[in-house]
Structure 1
Amino acid sequence: MGATATGQASMGKNTAPGEPVIVKKYANRRLYNTSTSSYITLEDLAGMVRDNVEFQVLDAKSGDDITHSILTQIIMDEEASGEQMLPVSFLRQLISMYGNSMQSLMPSYLEASMENFRQNQSKIREAFEKGISNTPLAKIHETNMAMMRAAADVLMPGAAKAAEKPAASESQSNEIDALRAQMAAMQKKLDELGK
């Protein structure tokens, strides 16, 4: 089901405007798009995500919403096919957050970080192309760190006072230097890919 299926899958002819497309997953692992009355694949669902088509995946037997696990499966498939985007260090840190007192904060923090990244995506691309070391990416990092500090302050009220010590600004400087080094390495990789 190549591009045609994705195009069909994203058309919600039986779906009211603003309503998500309902996809049913059957025991035989087949996915059925109820708006187009056709079977689709995980690849088709990935295309719907890229086309900003809202959908909800329901277990056909129980009616349970399994959208989260299906989206996670799409990410796993993308990562396994060589399109790795998630660094091992990030995955380790993410796993370590499960069961941690900060676990409940992570979904909203990650959503806010991704939204911030999306809003600044064109600025970041432009900065990488120009090779500028003082980029919006540093500002995104600072914003993300501020959000994490605010979240930590809510859960651990004494943490903010400890962070106000002069060592904190040195720590931020070290983080920015590390970020600049990472950006330089990414720029080098981009330059190599461009050749």
Structure 2
Amino acid sequence: MAVPVETLPETDAGEKPPVVVKKYANRRLYNTESSSYITLDNLADMVRQGRNFVVYDAKSGDDITRGVLTQIIVEEEGKGQNLLPINFLRQLIGLYGGSMQGLVPKYLEHAMTSFAQQQEQMRAAMQKTMGTLFPFGNIEEVGRQNMAMMERAFSLFTPFYRGTETANPSGSNDTEIESLRSEIERLRRELEAARKQ
């Protein structure tokens, strides 16, 4: 009986070689890099992290990566993560065995690559735009500052309001008012500086 030779896909010089995963008859997946058994969810996480892998049948040595990736998609769709529209699935099934079948994989690969590039460009444009709209930091930080300011304002103007901070038992709100004034002044200066740029 001949032992099949495992061939790994070509990789760029700076890119890590793909992780070799073996699938056994009991349907368990074994990650040869970490020397541990893994699940389809682990493989899905690897895809999301951009880590490449190949899956071989442990007995025959056949490359079954395509089938395992398809199985991951089926499981994700089963969890309610409906990414593939029904009409798309019907059209895709209709292309099997047709004259266009040979063109479809390259077309889909090109379309997904273009989509990923456009998504990254959109993300970069949004970050650039939001960075100029909010000169004093990222959106999350601005949101936190606004919420803290609102909490303090509500506690000052509503005697029965109890936000996330406990009321000052001494009844001295002077330091809070002064802190609020200095924060408003700091934000005003940052906004003016941003307008001058």
With normalisation by structure 2, the TM-score equals 0.54
Instruction: Provide the secondary structure at the position in 1 that maps to 2:16.
Output: coil
2:44 maps to 46
Count of aligned residue pairs for this structure pair: 112
- Mapped to 1, the partners of 2:15 and 2:66 lie a distance apart of 22
Instruction: Provide the secondary structure at the position in 2 that maps to 1:120.
Output: helix
- Which aligned pairs between 1:21-170 and structure 2 lie closer than 5 A? 21-122=19-120
Instruction: Provide the secondary structure at the position in 1 that maps to 2:33.
Output: coil
What is the identity, as a one-letter code, of the residue corresponding to 2:44? A
2:170 maps to none
- Mapped to 2, the partners of 1:70 and 1:33 lie a distance apart of 14
- Mapped to 2, the partners of 1:32 and 1:76 lie a distance apart of 20
Pair 1:108–1:17, CA change in 2 (3 A)? closer
Query: Unmatched 5+ residue regions in structure 1?
Result: 1-15, 128-195
Structure 1 position 122, deviation (Å): 4.2
- Bigger helix share: 1
Structure 1: which 4+ aligned runs deviate by more than 2 Å? 122-127
Pair 1:33–1:98, CA change in 2 (3 A)? same
- Mapped to 1, the partners of 2:90 and 2:96 lie a distance apart of 10
With normalisation by structure 1, the TM-score equals 0.54
2:190 maps to none
Structure 1 position 99, deviation (Å): 0.8
- Mapped to 2, the partners of 1:70 and 1:95 lie a distance apart of 18
Instruction: Provide the secondary structure at the position in 1 that maps to 2:102.
Output: helix
Pair 1:36–1:85, CA change in 2 (3 A)? same
% of aligned pairs identical? 60
Structure 1 position 74, deviation (Å): 0.1
Query: Unmatched 5+ residue regions in structure 2?
Result: 1-13, 127-197
- Mapped to 2, the partners of 1:41 and 1:122 lie a distance apart of 29
What is the identity, as a one-letter code, of the residue corresponding to 2:40? L
- Mapped to 2, the partners of 1:83 and 1:17 lie a distance apart of 30
- Mapped to 2, the partners of 1:116 and 1:57 lie a distance apart of 26
- Mapped to 1, the partners of 2:118 and 2:72 lie a distance apart of 25
Pair 1:124–1:19, CA change in 2 (3 A)? closer
- Mapped to 2, the partners of 1:101 and 1:17 lie a distance apart of 36
Pair 1:102–1:40, CA change in 2 (3 A)? same
Question: Which structure ranks higher in relative contact order (CA pairs < 8 Å, sequence separation ≥ 6)?
Answer: 1
